[in-house]
């Protein structure tokens, strides 16, 4: 196998210990000292967190009374002022170098025909670097094994490139490995699979990269690579790698409007991104399977339902100083057949007591389960398989599923404060057949070994409430705080009013009340906040947000 480096390749990068000269600083200083006066720039403390650059590190302040005018004192003050300005400028320049994201993003070196793509950015924008630093600083027990971003990067990438291979990561991979990696699937009608796999890796030293991959090519027959714009594109053959590069020259994924708009919908810079056009993936698989074995046809038939959605899905990871967020969105999705999560919740969860430990609210569960039962019974014969259970409980399926789970269902739990006591659990269901549901509750739990008096059901204004304790009512008392107004909940589940599904766990509160948690555990995780998830229907799909917060 031979390697190819044709195409618009960038000059070889210098090693990390030889930073590239930044000519913009010369113009900045000339304008500052030779041009007209201008407003002072923000000090580095507004760029980097004070833990990294405390004020005293870049602004030496004189102590004691000011020196008299003229003479040696004036010269000392003037000299100190010049040194302070120079020091501040040097630190600002260093801060810019440290924080500024640089280099080409992977989507610029992948073809516009790419149908699935995922990237990891270890050199993100300044805001993400600061946020990740501050977030990790709150959990020193977790971060102590990786004291800086380089150590974290090496730990991660050594697992990707070192384990299970003939490479020595430290000597053969690390010397040339850059800060951005992506994997992609590119359609290829001439391929039996229909898709060519591509690994895009940024490199910092072209000669060392080619030496490592040339070594691999001597033993790996299914490997080919090309280079472009500071990246090496690796595929399962040299022909596929060169075809990918030819596609990049015709147009890059970064210029595709669908991808650009989907990426923009994630709101803000991302540490990692995943994207797929499901209909295009299925079409590529079908196009490539014309010569495949007969047994693959059944798998393609199962993909038809996925292709009908015509959805594009994007996923991103975003860091803030006090939370880590995973967000996903679907665009161009069809309406589908299931009513699950189609309408916003009715607010039952938000009206729970503020001391609720965990809660889940979802809409359309009753109708969704009824439809699922009808479909599965016809194909799998569930009615016959569960005939004994159905007779014992007196269930009339599928209608009773809609009565029991209703249009809006909320499950909640409250943990005891001390070592004594069991968790209190309750469910509130909005249903049009609450009387039937209340009568069924006791018979439904009996086959699972629970006595009928272990659950307590009562009618509510729009349905029923059932709990494992007669004294537990999860609803907030008049005048008391509600979960929806609790700051911990609001941070974990922003914009919950329009959601069709909400999940919440007060992790910090559970840790505080856990009698079995050691003092060390509580100290290590004292900043742990809450877990939150929401699913919001949109005009062309769905948006899901998952947050892990700190306190």
Question: Domain-by-domain residue ranges, the chain?
Answer: 39-99, 106-319, 337-550
Q: What is the pLDDT of residue 166?
A: 65
Condensed to tens digits (0 to 9), the pLDDT of residues 238-258 reads 999 999 999 999 999 999 999
Q: Which of 236, 254, 224, 178 is nearest to 6 (CA)?
A: 224
Condensed to tens digits (0 to 9), the pLDDT of residues 484-502 reads 999 999 999 997 878 999 9
Q: What is the pLDDT of residue 292?
A: 46
219 neighbors 166 (Cβ within 8 angstroms): yes
Written as six digits, the tokens of 63 are 């102590």
Strands 501-505 and 177-187: unpaired
Average pLDDT over residues 263-284: 89
Average pLDDT over residues 207-211: 94
Condensed to tens digits (0 to 9), the pLDDT of residues 458-485 reads 999 999 999 998 889 999 998 889 999 9
Query: In whole angstroms, how far apart are CA 84 and each of 47, 52, 79, 210?
Result: 18, 18, 9, 46
Which span out of 65-69, 109-113, 280-284, 342-346 was modeled with the highest average pLDDT? 109-113
Condensed to tens digits (0 to 9), the pLDDT of residues 48-104 reads 444 443 333 333 333 444 444 455 444 433 444 444 444 444 434 433 334 444 579
Percentage of the chain surpassing pLDDT 70? 71
More confident residue, 142 or 416: 416
Q: Which of 22, 16, 266, 314 is nearest to 128 (CA)?
A: 266
More confident residue, 279 or 459: 459
**Helix, strand, coil tally for the chain in percent (to 5):** 40, 20, 35
Q: What is the pLDDT of residue 158?
A: 62
Q: What is the pLDDT of residue 305?
A: 54
- Range scoring the smallest mean pLDDT among 224-228, 405-409, 420-424, 546-550: 420-424
From CA 107, how far away is CA 182, in angstroms rounded?
8
Q: Is the pLDDT of residue 548 over 70?
A: yes
Nearest-5° angle of CA 533, CA 536, CA 539? Answer: 160
More confident residue, 505 or 382: 505
- Range scoring the smallest mean pLDDT among 25-39, 202-216, 422-436: 25-39
Average pLDDT over residues 353-373: 94
From CA 184, how far away is CA 325, in angstroms rounded?
23
Q: What is the pLDDT of residue 107?
A: 96
Average pLDDT over residues 316-330: 92
121 neighbors 271 (Cβ within 8 angstroms): yes
Q: What is the pLDDT of residue 222?
A: 85
Range list of H helices, 22-70: 24-34, 55-58
Condensed to tens digits (0 to 9), the pLDDT of residues 381-433 reads 888 888 888 888 899 999 999 999 999 999 999 998 766 778 999 999 999 99
Q: Which of 384, 487, 380, 364 is nearest to 429 (CA)?
A: 364
More confident residue, 519 or 453: 519
Give the other-Cβ count within 10 Å of 244's Cβ.
28
pLDDT band at 144 (very low <50, low <70, confident <90, very high): low
- Range scoring the smallest mean pLDDT among 35-39, 145-149, 188-192, 350-354: 35-39
Q: What is the pLDDT of residue 287?
A: 79
Q: What is the pLDDT of residue 314?
A: 96
Condensed to tens digits (0 to 9), the pLDDT of residues 293-312 reads 334 445 555 555 555 567 89
Q: What is the pLDDT of residue 332?
A: 81
Q: Is the pLDDT of residue 43 over 60?
A: no
Q: Is the pLDDT of residue 36 over 90?
A: no
Q: What is the pLDDT of residue 108?
A: 97
More confident residue, 437 or 13: 437
Q: Which of 444, 437, 435 is nearest to 392 (CA)?
A: 444
Average pLDDT over residues 343-365: 95
For the chain, give the mean pLDDT.
Answer: 78
Range list of H helices, 184-251: 206-217, 238-250
The model carries a pTM of 0.73
């Amino acid at each position: 196998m031979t390697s190819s480096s044709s195409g618009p390749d960038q000059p070889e990068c210098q090693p990390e210990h030889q930073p590239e000269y930044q000519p913009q600083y010369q113009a900045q200083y000339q304008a500052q000292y030779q041009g007209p006066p201008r407003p002072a720039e923000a000090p580095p403390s507004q760029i980097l967190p004070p833990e990294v650059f405390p004020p005293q590190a870049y602004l030496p302040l004189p102590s004691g009374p000011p020196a008299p005018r003229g003479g040696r004192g004036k010269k000392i003050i003037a000299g100190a002022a010049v040194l302070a300005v120079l020091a501040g400028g040097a630190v600002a320049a260093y801060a810019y170098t440290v924080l500024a994201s640089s280099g080409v993003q992977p989507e610029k070196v992948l073809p516009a025909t790419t149908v699935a793509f995922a990237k990891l950015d270890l050199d993100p924008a300044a805001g993400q670097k600061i946020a990740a630093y501050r977030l990790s600083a709150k959990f020193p027990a977790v971060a102590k094994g990786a004291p800086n971003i380089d150590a974290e990067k090496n730990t991660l990438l050594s697992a990707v490139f070192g384990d299970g291979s003939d490479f020595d990561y430290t000597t053969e991979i690390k010397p040339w490995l850059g800060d951005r990696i992506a994997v992609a699937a590119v359609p290829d009608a001439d391929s039996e699979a229909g898709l060519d796999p591509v690994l895009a890796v940024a490199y910092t030293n072209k000669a060392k990269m080619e030496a490592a991959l040339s070594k691999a090519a001597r033993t790996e027959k299914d490997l080919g690579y090309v280079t472009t714009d500071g990246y090496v594109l690796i595929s399962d053959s040299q022909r596929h790698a060169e075809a990918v590069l030819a596609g990049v020259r015709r147009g890059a994924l970064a210029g595709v409007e669908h991808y650009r708009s989907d990426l923009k919908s994630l709101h803000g810079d991302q540490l990692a991104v995943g994207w797929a056009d499901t209909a295009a993936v299925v079409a590529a698989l079908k196009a490539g399977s014309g010569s495949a074995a007969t047994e693959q046809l059944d798998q393609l038939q199962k993909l038809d339902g996925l292709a009908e959605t015509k959805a594009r899905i994007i996923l991103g990871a975003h860091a803030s100083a006090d939370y880590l967020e995973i967000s996903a969105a679907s665009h161009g999705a069809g309406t589908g057949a299931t009513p699950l999560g189609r309408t916003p919740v009715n607010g039952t969860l938000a009206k729970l007591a503020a001391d609720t430990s965990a809660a889940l609210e979802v809409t359309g569960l009753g109708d969704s389960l009824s439809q699922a039962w009808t479909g599965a019974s016809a194909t799998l014969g569930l009615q016959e398989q569960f005939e004994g259970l159905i007779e014992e409980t007196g269930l009339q399926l599928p209608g009773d599923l809609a009565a029991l789970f209703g249009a809006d269902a909320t499950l909640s739990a409250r943990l005891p404060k001390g070592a004594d006591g069991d968790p209190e659990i309750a469910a509130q269901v909005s249903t049009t057949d609450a009387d039937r549901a209340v009568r069924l509750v006791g018979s439904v739990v009996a086959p699972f070994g629970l006595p009928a008096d272990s659950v307590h059901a009562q009618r509510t204004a729009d349905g029923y409430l059932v709990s494992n304790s007669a004294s537990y009512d999860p609803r907030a008392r008049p005048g008391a705080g509600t979960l929806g107004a609790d700051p911990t909940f609001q941070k974990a589940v922003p914009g919950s009013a329009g959601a069709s599904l909400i999940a919440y766990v007060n992790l910090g509160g559970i840790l505080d009340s856990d009698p079995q948690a050691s003092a060390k555990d509580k100290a290590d995780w004292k900043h742990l906040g809450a877990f939150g998830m929401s699913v919001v229907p949109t005009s062309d799909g769905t948006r899901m947000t998952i947050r892990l917060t700190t306190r």
